[in-house]
Structure 1
Amino acid sequence: MLAITIVLTEGYSDWEIGLLAGTGRAFYGADIRFVAPGGGPVNALSGLKLAALDPFVAPEDGVVVVCGGPAFESDSPPEVEDRLKQAHDNGCVIAGICGGTLALARAGLLNDVAHTSNGADYLQAAKNYSGGVNYRDQPQAVRDGRIITAPAPAPASFALEVLYAAGLERDAAGVIMTMLSQEHRPMRS
C-alpha cells in the first residue's frame, strides 16, 4: 500500500480521521504519517495533544489527507494549498473531510471533479473555488479520480475510499463498513 500522509492543524477534528488511522494501521498495516502545516505540536478538539509533528511537504506519491477543523474556517487558514497542488501534480491522491475540503477548494482541486463537503454553501466562500456545478449533496464520501471528499459525519466511507486509493483491495476495505454497520442492526429480543 502507498503511504497515507495526514495533515493536522491546531484544533483538528480527531474523530474524522480516527477510523482511518486506527483501522488503517492496526488491521491493514498502512503506513500512516502525521504532519502539521509548519510542523510542531497540535492539539485536537478533544484535547489530545500531539508534539513534534514533521512539517507538511508535498510527497512524491501516496495519499494526502487533510483532516477538518476550525482552523480552515478561520479568516487566516493554514496555507497548504501550494503543497496540495504540488502533491497532486506529483501524482498523489488528495483527500479532505469536513473543513479539509475548504483547503482542497482553495487549492482549486475541486473545480473540475465531483465532490462533497458539509453543504453546497460551505465551499462558496473559498478563494479559487468555482466547482459548484460538480457538488454532490450526499452523506458519504465522493471519489473522482485522484480527489476524495467527505462531509464531517462520514468518517467510515472516507476511510474506505482513502484506504482503497492507497492500494487496499475494495473487498478488504469494505470490511470496515460491514463491521461498523453491525452496531446499527436491530437487536433480537
Structure 2
Amino acid sequence: MKPITIILTDGYSDWEIAPLAGAGRAFFGADIRFASPRGGAVTSVAGLPISDTIALTPPDDGVVVVCGGSAWEGATAPDISDALRQSLEKGCVVAAICGGTVALANAGLLDQVRHTSNGADYLPGLSKAYRGTSNYVDQPQALRDGQIITAPAPAPASFAFEVLAAAGLPEDAARQIKDMLGQEHQR
C-alpha cells in the first residue's frame, strides 16, 4: 500500500480522520504520516495533542489528505496550494474532508473535477479562487474523481474507504471500514 500523508492544523477535526488513521493503521497496516504546514505540535479541536508532525513537503507517491478544521476557513488559513499542486503533479491522489476542501479550492484543484464539500454555498463563501461550482455534487458521502477525493464533514467512513482504496488497499478490504461504521445506521 502507498503511504498516506495526513495534513493537520491546530484545531483539526479529529473525528474526520479517525477511521482512516486508526482503522487504516491498526487493521490494514497503512503507512500513515502526519504533517502540518510548518511541522511541530498540533492540537485537535477536542484537545487531542500530537506532539510532533513533519513539515509538509510534497511526497513522491501516495495519498495526501487535508483534514478539516476551522483553520482553513479564516483569513489566516495556511496556504498549502503549491504543495498540493506539486503532489498532484507527482502522481499523488489528493484528498480533503470538510474544511480541508477549502485548501483544495484555493489551489484550483476543484475547478475541473466533480467534488463535494459541506454544502453548495460553503466553498464559494470561503475561497475567492474557487471556480468549480458547476462541478459541485451535493451528496453526503465522499466522492472520487480521478486523482481528487472530497468529502463533507459527516462522511469519515466513506472518506476512509476512498483514501485507503486510492492507497492500494483492495476495495473489498477498504469497504469493511465503511460497512462496519455504517452498521449503527441500519434498522
Same fold per superposition (TM over 0.5): yes
1:123 aligns with 2:123: yes
For residues 37 and 159 of structure 1, the distance between their equivalents in structure 2, rounded to whole angstroms, comes to: 22
- Percent identical residues: 62
User: Residues 21-36 of structure 1 correspond to what in structure 2 (within 5 A)?
Assistant: 21-36=21-36
Q: CA deviation at 1:96?
A: 0.3
In structure 1, the partner of 2:65 is 65
Q: Which residue of 1 aligns with 2:112?
A: 112
CA distance in 2, matches of 1:101, 1:164: 19
Query: Is the contact between residue 116 and residue 151 of structure 2 (CA under 8 Å) also seen in structure 1?
Result: yes
Over residues 14-72 of structure 1, what are the superposed CA-to-partner deviations in whole Å (9 max), with x where a residue is unaligned?
00000000111001110000011001111100101111211010001100000000000
The CA distance in 1 between the partners of 2:177 and 2:72, in whole Å, is: 28
Measure the CA separation in 2 of the matches of 1:49 and 1:178.
29
Residue pairs, 1:2-151, within 5 angstroms: 2-125=2-125, 126-151=127-152
Q: Which moved more, 1:114-123 or 1:170-179?
A: 170-179
CA RMSD, aligned part only? 0.8
Aligned position for 2:167 = 166
Distance 1:164 1:109 in 2: 20
SS in 2 for 1:117: coil
Structure 1 unaligned blocks of 5 or more: none
TM-score (norm 2): 0.97
The range that moved more, 171-180 or 29-38, is 171-180
> Does the CA-based 8 Å contact 2:41-2:53 persist in structure 1?
yes
Per-residue deviation, 1:79:
1.3
Per-residue deviation, residues 139-172 of structure 1 (Å, max 9, x unmatched): 0000000000000000000000000000011111
Alpha-carbon distance between aligned partners in 2 of 1:182 and 1:139, rounded to the nearest angstrom: 16
Counterpart of 2:185, as a letter, is: H
Moved over 6 A (4+): none
Secondary structure of the residue that 1:68 maps to in structure 2? Answer: coil
Give, in angstroms, the shift of residue 184 of structure 1. Answer: 2.7
- CA-CA distance at 1:118 after TM superposition: 0.3
Offset, 1:182: 2.3
- Secondary structure of residue in 2 paired with 1:113: coil
The structure with the largest alpha-carbon Rg is 1
Contact 2:165-2:171 at 8 Å conserved across structures: yes
Corresponding position of 2:154: 153
Question: Deviation per CA, 1:82-130, whole angstroms, max 9, x where unpaired?
Answer: 1000000110000000000000000000000000000111111413210
Q: Distance in 2 between matches of 1:131 and 1:119?
A: 13
Alignment TM-score, normalising by the size of structure 1: 0.96
| AA aligned opposite 1:150 | A
CA distance in 1, matches of 2:186, 2:118: 27
Q: Which runs of 5+ in 2 are unaligned?
A: none
The residue identity in structure 2 corresponding to 1:131 is G
Cα distance in 2, alignment partners of residues 89 and 41 from structure 1:
28
